Amino acid sequence: MSSLFPSFFSFLGSSLGKKILVALTGMVLVVFVLGHMIGNLLVYAGPDAINEYGHTLQTLLHGAGIWIARIGLLVCVVVHVVLTIQVTKENRAARSDRYAVHKTIKTTNSARIMILSGLTLLAFIVYHLLHFTVRAGNDYDTYKTVLHGETVHDVYRMVIAGFSWWPASLFYIIAMVLLWSHLSHGVQSMFQTVGISNERTIPVYKTIALVFATVILIGNCSIPISVMLGWVK
Q: What is the pLDDT along the chain (233 residues), one digit of tens a residue?
A: 455 556 656 766 777 788 889 889 999 999 999 999 999 999 999 999 999 999 999 898 888 988 899 899 889 988 988 888 888 787 777 665 444 444 444 556 666 667 777 778 888 888 888 888 888 888 888 999 999 889 999 999 999 999 999 999 999 999 999 999 989 988 888 877 766 767 788 888 889 999 999 999 999 999 999 999 999 98
Residues 6+ apart with CB under 8 A from 196: none
Query: What CA–CA distance (Å, rounded) separates 109 from 115?
Result: 12
Query: What CA–CA distance (Å, rounded) separates 59 from 147?
Result: 14
Question: Is the Cβ–Cβ distance between 56 and 152 less than 8 Å?
Answer: no
Would you state the pLDDT for residue 227? 96
Domain topology for 4-228? 3 helical TM bundles of succinate and fumarate reductases (1.20.1300)
Query: What CA–CA distance (Å, rounded) separates 106 from 115?
Result: 18
Q: Quick one: which H or E segment has residue 186?
A: helix 166-193
- Nearest alpha-carbon partner for 57 in 75, 69, 47, 45: 69
Global confidence as pTM: 0.84
Would you state the pLDDT for residue 169? 94
The residue type found at 226 is S
Would you state the pLDDT for residue 104? 45
179 burial via Cβ count (<10 Å: 0-12, 13-18, 19+): buried
